[in-house]
Amino acid sequence: MAMITVTLPDGTSKTLPEGATALELAQSIGPGLARAAMASVINGRVRDLRFPLQEGDVVRLLTTKDPESLDVLRHSAAHILAQAVQTLWPDAKVATGPTVENGFYYDLDIPNHKLSPDDFPKIEAEMHRIAKSKQVFERRFIQDIPGTLKEFQDKGERYKAEILDKYKDNDPTLYVCKDAETGADVWSDLCEGPHVPDTSWIKAFKLMSVAGAYWRGDAANPMLQRVYATAFWDEKDVTAHLHQMEEADKRDHRKLSKEYDLFSIEEEVGSGLILWHPNLATLREELENYWRKEHRKRGYDIVFTPHIAKRDLWDVSGHTSFYMENMYTMEIDDQEYIVKPMNCPFHVLIFKSRIRSYRELPLRLSELGTVYRYEKSGTMHGLNRVRGFTQDDAHLFCRLDQIRSEIVEVIRFVDDTLKLFNMDYEVELSTRPTEKFVGEIAIWDQAEQALKEALEESGKPYVLNEGDGAFYGPKIDFKLKDAIGRTWQCSTVQLDFNLPERFDLKFTDKDGHAKRPIMIHRAIFGSLERFAGTLIEHYAGAFPTWISPQQVAILPIADRHLEYADQIERTFRAEMVRAKVDSANEGIGAKIRNAQLAKVPYMLIIGDKEMESGEVAVRSRSKGDLGAVPLSQFLELIKAEIATHGQQTVVLPEKVG
């Protein structure tokens, strides 16, 4: 019998009969692993346990403890969701059912029934029945594509037929759910996989919502019913996820925007184009002020570039080759212009505008550059996914030997910034793709080593994503964690070997020879829109004093105190403290309640006593009454808190100790 040898994660080898599967590998290692294994990773790609192994494969067996396992579980749960719907509504037709962050969905065409949450209990009950029946997932290659196409069409499965026709030259496969006892086929779907061994692994799931979705995202196509759901290995994780979803719903920046008058998207302007109202514009102004000050301190030069450029520029940069469908064009003087989707080519031209010496490197160019990209209407989401946004962009041009020190400084910049907002983060390092990439392997290796050393020097633990870098260079991504544990992609640092080559960038080295610089793309906030949306949800609208639209609410007890309150407001505004008098004809209790609901950091109560003494009674949004203090002293305390980006740090003398 012919044998094959495969390699395990610890470097050891296993010899198995030719044609053996990952399940048989698990069985050869031990019965405990065979029971615990639910999928495999073969040469870096997640596969099911029945996938045949080949000579030289590198194999890792997955259990429910591995992070990749959840995606397999959810993909499998999507199949039993579709099977359940077709059992309950036999005329239903299925489209696609991918996994998404924290769950999955399935697009369904049900001619005579509109799904609602009222249907969820019976769908879930049918899903549990399918799960308990232990139907086996079996992968099959489609041998007779014309025959299978006809079969789909005869059954009215037009969506499956379209998908099969599109991928007919890519060895398409079906995943069949088989009866555990008889082995008979129960249900099947056109699918690449992978899946869990059988449906009994699918125990903890919850249907979340239903929405409309055009087939293939095209409004010219039929509207389908998209059922969103989630699945975990344990019911307690489902409960925790549902709790987080409730919190997320309360913090949804679109809802909070209406409550606190932050931004709007108007039909007359267009989808994905944000109108920043005064409150959120104030927050943005503070972010920009911080950004400019920190960039100057850290040795960056700030530049400004146009919003449009001739198509020729984007041809050279390569954007028209791989990004044209996302760009807006116009014609001026019989020439095609493109509204910029990115700032990088402009910064490249600034570098190239004259001969550069090695002594000038690193050259750090930064810009708050507004860019425009076409996004499909169904993908846009408040501030988080828009068509016009401002990147806090920077491009660093350096020598190969300077990469490590530059990356270390970028990591410090990111760390210092996120600490201001009490945000934790995770770090991912993505390396050279296995196939399509530009640049020499030796330079890739040096660059990746420099990134690793920079992360190690910074003391930051990181996840290594082998082969997940862009074709033009390795990258580091920072995944922010907000107050309820969600992650957001904002900060990033990306090496680029492509644009310096395309634009023939050079500098004169110390030996007098022309050398190619390394280009580093870098963003701290990512975009001001997404970062603002993240902050709204992170703080649930209760912003730190330094970025709060209103920092002080001045609350006169009676009309006779209004003049003094107005005088205090003018004093504060002259000192650049955002204060506002509540002159409404309401009692002081109502005014305090209104300021608290508006989440103003500090309230100053003004009555007869305060007018006579020159003091103010101070109330904190988070700590309640703080006592009385001379007005001038409170002003100095809050100015210090703002200047140091403090988090409600005003402490009155009588409260100390």
Residues carrying an active site annotation: 344, 373, 391, 393, 395, 475, 521
Among 249, 242, 183, 258, residue whose Cα is nearest residue 208? 242
The amino acid present at 355, given as its one-letter code, is: I
- State how far the Cα of 614 lies from the Cα of 606, in Å rounded to an integer: 10
Tokens of 550: 């209103």
- 525 touches 551 (CB < 8 A): no
3-state secondary structure of 95: coil
- 541 touches 548 (CB < 8 A): no
- State how far the Cα of 67 lies from the Cα of 445, in Å rounded to an integer: 27
Helix (H) or strand (E) holding 258: helix 253-260
Return left, alpha or beta for 454; rule: phi > 0 is left, psi -120 to 50 is alpha, else beta.
Answer: alpha
By the 10 Å C-beta count (0-12 exposed, 13-18 middle, 19+ buried), 326 is classed as: middle
- State how far the Cα of 307 lies from the Cα of 488, in Å rounded to an integer: 27
- 579 touches 527 (CB < 8 A): no
Report the b/e string of 267-294 with b at 16+ CB within 10 A. eeeeebebebeebbebbbebbeebbeee
Tokens of 496: 């680029």
- State how far the Cα of 463 lies from the Cα of 227, in Å rounded to an integer: 32
- State how far the Cα of 195 lies from the Cα of 357, in Å rounded to an integer: 56
Cα torsion angle, 318, 321, 322, 323, sign: positive
- 127 touches 205 (CB < 8 A): yes
- State how far the Cα of 179 lies from the Cα of 85, in Å rounded to an integer: 18
- 363 touches 351 (CB < 8 A): yes
Q: What are the CA-CA distances from residue 583 to residues 250, 267, 559, 607 (Å)?
A: 30, 35, 8, 13
Tokens of 479: 């995944």
Torsion of CA 540, 544, 547, 548, to 10 degrees: 70
DSSP-derived secondary structure for 333-402: TTEEEEE-S-SHHHHHHHHHTS--BGGGPSEEEEEEEEEE----GGG-BTTTB-SEEEEEEEEEEE-GGG
By the 10 Å C-beta count (0-12 exposed, 13-18 middle, 19+ buried), 570 is classed as: exposed
The amino acid present at 157, given as its one-letter code, is: E
DSSP-derived secondary structure for 425-484: EEEEEE---SSS--S-HHHHHHHHHHHHHHHHHHT---EEETT-SBTTB-EEEEEEE-TT
Residue 410's CB is within 10 A of a number of other CB atoms, namely 25
Helix (H) or strand (E) holding 645: none
Sequence-distant (≥ 6) Cβ neighbours of residue 540 within 8 angstroms: 250, 251, 256, 483
Torsion of CA 414, 416, 422, 423, to 10 degrees: 20
Tokens of 652: 């009155």
